[in-house]
Structure 1
Amino acid sequence: MNPRRIVPSLVVGLASAFLLGACGSSADTGGVAPVTPAASDPAPSTPAAASTPGDGGGSASTAPGVTTGVAARAVDGIGTVVTDDKGMALYRFDEDQPSPSKWTCSGTCTKTWIPVIVPETVQASGVRQSLLGTVHRNGRTQLTLAGWPLYRYVGDTASGQVNGQGKNGEWYAVTPSGQKSTTTG
């Protein structure tokens, strides 16, 4: 083989191998078993493990959109509700079921009401760790509070907003005890 062709071929081959290795597999679920429950039969809820500093929970390598912590936060006009690690209000849906945890918001619903996806550990502040759990959702892990699957509202664009409160008479900001907030702002 001509030496002029070997070097470019070698460079292209190495670059291709590097890029393929960096991309990973499309089946990679970040350590979560790829389970796809039917909407009528989700996996049972399990407690979310507490995370302590230095144990890897909430690392900077967490995928975008994944919540690593929740906190109780007073929001003007509505009282104390649960927010994610960015201060965005979390909601529960009356059509979902808390025991066993069962989500019903799917398809186009999840474009407006975004499921709260979490890693194995979630830090909690002002929310009882024993009330936190998860439900499997299309190979990902959705956070639950008192069994209720949690969501973000696409209409909340800044920390402290609760624009989804009372939407359609079935979406409510969730309180630290897992109850729906009945206060409107």
Structure 2
Amino acid sequence: MLLHSRIARTAIALASVAVLAACDDATTGPAAPATAAASQATAPSPTAGADTTPEVVDAPSAPQPAPTVAKTQGRVRIYSGPSDVPLTPAPDTGRGSNIIQLNATASEDIGTYVADGQGRTLYRFDKDTAKPSKSNCNGDCAKTWPPLLVKGGGQIYPSGINPKLVGYVERADGTCQVTIGGWPVYLFDKDAKPGDINGQGVGGTWFAISPVGDRTTSLPEVVTTPTAP
């Protein structure tokens, strides 16, 4: 009787290990192969010689994982990727936004650059420093080049950008300016709509920032062909 009890406990333990392994595979592995295998196992085989048209079933797309906190700086949380739900930032009262979205954006003219959640181009200033992070654009400069500010306790969601490269630096007025690769980032008041890059190359010191904090490529020179007299 004792032997039977031990065998039963051993069988239960082995079954538990198998369930845990299956759960681990379902959590970390791709869902598509498992779904396809299940479909093949349960689908009835067609009747030989029957004139049937196979049903086309769209495979469900794998759900995107919810972003997790990848990094914290002070009370600002920087997430592992874009939010999986719509975000509604609170109105900016001059001290920054409680929610910041950063999106890597492709451009044929200057390469991949970073834009904010409204599609506005973000720039870096060569007279700033990245190590340590410091902004040298204040006063009238900051009116033309408004810094991208995040409130204390805010959240930053980067898409196509390593969250470890994202942070903030405290400005002279006590506000917190978002940084990428250590470089403080700015908007340009002459950019009127999403996708504008009117600040590219201004003064030889302002450039749209890349996802790693580098300068993007200068705009191609436009050469006009003189018209015939």
TM-score of the two chains, using structure 2 as the length reference: 0.55
Query: C-alpha root-mean-square deviation of aligned residues, in Å?
Result: 2.4
Distance change >3 Å, CA 114–CA 154, structure 1 → 2: same
Q: Secondary structure at the match of 1:176?
A: coil
Name the structure 2 match of 1:61. 90
Which structure has the greater CA radius of gyration?
2
Percentage of identical aligned residues? 37
Amino acid corresponding to residue 184 of structure 1 in structure 2: L
In the TM superposition, what whole-angstrom CA distance separates every residue of 1:80-139 from its partner, at most 9, and x where no partner exists?
100001000100000000011011001100111110011321001001100001011212
- What residue identity is the alignment partner of 2:155? T
Q: CA deviation at 1:63?
A: 2.2
Q: Does 2:150 match 1:118?
A: yes
| Residue-by-residue CA offset, 1:130-175 (whole Å, 9 max, x unaligned) | 0001011212110001110000011111101100000000000000
Match in the other structure for 1:103: 135
Aligned-partner Cα distance in 1 for 2:169–2:135: 8
| Unpaired runs of at least 5, structure 1 | 1-45
Determine if contact 2:101/2:158 at 8 Å carries over to the other structure.
yes
CA separation in 1, counterparts of 2:203 and 2:92? 31
The answer to whether the 8 A contact 2:78-2:167 is kept is no
- 2:121 alignment partner in structure 1: 89
Q: How far did residue 68 of structure 1 move? A: 1.3
Bigger RCO of structures 1 and 2 (CA < 8 A, at least 6 apart): 1
Unaligned runs of 5+ in 2: 1-72, 221-229
Which whole-Å CA distance do the structure 2 matches of 1:114 and 1:53 have between them?
Answer: 25
Name the TM-score, length of structure 1 as normaliser.
0.68
Name the aligned partner's letter for residue 107 of structure 1: G
Q: 1:163 is aligned with what amino acid?
A: N
Where do 1:108-147 residues align within 5 Å? Answer: 108-119=140-151, 120-137=154-171, 138-147=173-182
Which secondary structure state, in structure 2, belongs to the residue aligned with residue 69 of structure 1?
strand
Pair 75,134 (structure 1): closer, same or farther in 2 beyond 3 Å: same
Structure (1 or 2) with the greater helix fraction: 2
Residue matched to 1:181? 216
Q: Secondary structure at the match of 1:70?
A: strand
Q: 2:78 corresponds to which residue?
A: 50
The size of the alignment, in residue pairs, is: 139
Is contact 1:58–1:69 with CA below 8 Å preserved after alignment? no
